[in-house]
Amino acid sequence: MKNIVGFDCGNSSFRITIGRYDGKRINTQVVEQIPNQMIQINGDYYWDILNIYKGLVDGLKKAANLVDKIDSIGLSTWGIDFAMFSKEKVMINNPYSYRNTFGNEVLNAIPESEQNEMFLETGILCDKINSVFMLKALQNKIGSITKAADKLLMIPDILNFFLTGKMINEPSELSTSQMMDSRTKEISSFMCDKFGIKKDLFCSIGHHGELIGLLSKEVKDEIGVDYDIPVICVPSHDTAAAVLAIPAKEDSFAFISSGTWSLIGTEIEKPIVNEETRRAKLTNEVGAFDKITLLKNGAGMFIIQRLKTECEQELGREVSWKEIDEMAASKADDVPVFLVQDSKYFNPLSMSDEIWNYFKQTEQVTTEKDWVTLFRSFDESMACSYAETIREIEKVTKKSFDSIYMVGGGSRNSLLCQLSANYSGKNLFLGGKESTSLGTILAQIKYFEKEKTILELRNIISTELSEKHYECEISANSEVLDRYKKLITKGEKV
């Protein structure tokens, strides 16, 4: 029996999970779940990395009390964000959040022709949240700190360093920076030269399933163990970890990772870097064990999380997710839709007002704002976006997928799942509820059983997960989907 700990830190919460692996099956137990949120100071958004680290250590302590021995640890977080360290290995800035607008200002100043060139050089689509644009913005905003920086660590790299004292850059996370060439999986000299970034700012790049280092003596003392615990390099970008935990038995499949962000894509062997991919707004991120996840990174549950908060503020009470689902299900006719990928929904002052104003501008409503319509519209609009993106991926890859696998928090929304099946015209299968944590656990099994293939790792969980799925009930050419497509053709931003 191996007791394997997976740490999954998202934008809204982080959790510590024990995976008990007996050589054939994994039995998981969530040990701790702790809220996480951005902190706004003087108009800028930060992550409280020290609080996240404290929660990780507290969770490890609880995990250590539940098992005879922790055999290994692996962790993942969201992508993009980072902090810089001095040559003495001291963190010299608190991580800024990608929800700041610094990066967007840098990207907007770059001509489209140069953005195209950057994509062709890296295989990564230019996006306002990519780390390279934040880093360039910080060179202007806090130049004295960026000049003093010796190393750059992404969020999961920081936590691995705090645990072990070892500095590496994990590849799936690093690929979200757009500083890595997804073909060579090395730092791009072209990008370094273009943005005036020294190449040795980055550490050696880790390999999945291999040892980063052992838990430091200080951490062992804090969690109350007297034995060594290896910390393993796993796919640290939560999307890459979640995709590893998709219970697919076929080599070629489509996936939707529906969390704070929605990532819709497929797993391929090599990047597809051409004009068709760029026009479809698809990017080639590094996945688990040198695979590539060709995907579109778009809006996700962040929108409905904001709607929930605003609804609660207006009503003066807590509104459960069950109540939200019931409200959405109660409205089936005359549902307005909005383009969820539009930048106006990135982080507006009022999400509900922004969406409702769009409904009025496009003459979809004439009444005052109501929450039932907003919640139903989110499910409809997101499902349309998923369906359109799957079709784009099929066109670029020249493949046709029979079914879709959905993982993440959005998979708990039954209406969203059914609508996604309907509008895509495909059956939709659900993965595990804690797919990111499960992915970090599967990658650690590779450390103990090096001969296992990705398909064999997935087979460990495929028999354990529910066979629940959603079958397409209506034609994909529904009235709502047609209206969504017409909004796109009118030149709206997507």
pLDDT in tens, 63-120: 999 999 999 999 999 999 999 999 999 999 999 999 999 899 999 999 999 999 999 9
Task: Say how far apart CA 242 and CA 440 lie, in whole Å.
Answer: 8
Give the 3-state secondary structure of residue 30. strand
pLDDT cut 90: percent of the chain above it:
83
pLDDT cut 70: percent of the chain above it:
97
Strand partners, 205: 169
Q: Is the pLDDT of residue 293 over 60?
A: yes
Which residue segments constitute the domains of the chain, with CATH numbers given?
Answer: 2-232 (3.30.420.40), 246-431+464-494 (3.30.420.40)
Section 285-297 average pLDDT: 95
Which residues have C-beta within 8 Å of that of residue 318, sequence separation ≥ 6?
A: 312
Q: Are strands 151-154 and 292-299 parallel, antiparallel or unpaired?
A: unpaired
127-160 pLDDT, tens per residue?
999 999 999 999 999 999 899 999 999 999 999 9
Residue 259 near residue 247, CB atoms below 8 Å = no
Average pLDDT of every residue of the chain:
93
* Residue-by-residue DSSP string for 368-437: ---HHHHHHHHHHHHHHHHHHHHHHHHHHHT---SEEEEESGGGG-HHHHHHHHHHHTSEEEE--TTHHH
Q: Is the pLDDT of residue 494 over 50?
A: no
Q: Is the pLDDT of residue 422 over 50?
A: yes
Task: Centre a 10 Å sphere on the Cβ of residue 113 and count the other Cβ atoms it contains.
Answer: 7
CA angle 224, 443, 123 (to 5 degrees): 125
Strand partners, 14: 9, 34
Sign of CA dihedral 69, 71, 77, 80: positive
User: Could you tell me the pLDDT band of residue 486, with boundaries at 50, 70 and 90?
Assistant: confident
Distance of CA 225 to the CA centre of its chain: 32
Sign of CA dihedral 58, 63, 69, 75: negative
Q: Is the pLDDT of residue 493 over 50?
A: no
- Tokens (6 digits) for 7: 């740490």
Task: Say how far apart CA 131 and CA 103 lie, in whole Å.
Answer: 8
Least confident of 172-181, 209-218, 461-470: 461-470
Least confident of 248-252, 264-268, 299-303, 311-315: 248-252
Which residues have C-beta within 8 Å of that of residue 226, sequence separation ≥ 6?
A: 220
User: Could you tell me the pLDDT band of residue 480, with boundaries at 50, 70 and 90?
Assistant: confident
Section 199-212 average pLDDT: 97
Residue 224 near residue 64, CB atoms below 8 Å = yes
239-267 pLDDT, tens per residue?
999 999 998 888 889 999 888 889 999 99
User: Could you tell me the pLDDT band of residue 411, with boundaries at 50, 70 and 90?
Assistant: confident
- Specify the pLDDT at position 272: 97
Residue 269 near residue 292, CB atoms below 8 Å = yes
Section 59-63 average pLDDT: 97
Section 463-473 average pLDDT: 72
Q: Is the pLDDT of residue 477 over 70?
A: no
Give the 3-state secondary structure of residue 244. helix
Distance of CA 230 to the CA centre of its chain: 25
Q: Is the pLDDT of residue 438 over 90?
A: yes
Which residues have C-beta within 8 Å of that of residue 365, sequence separation ≥ 6?
A: 336, 356, 359, 373
- Specify the pLDDT at position 485: 86
Section 354-367 average pLDDT: 94
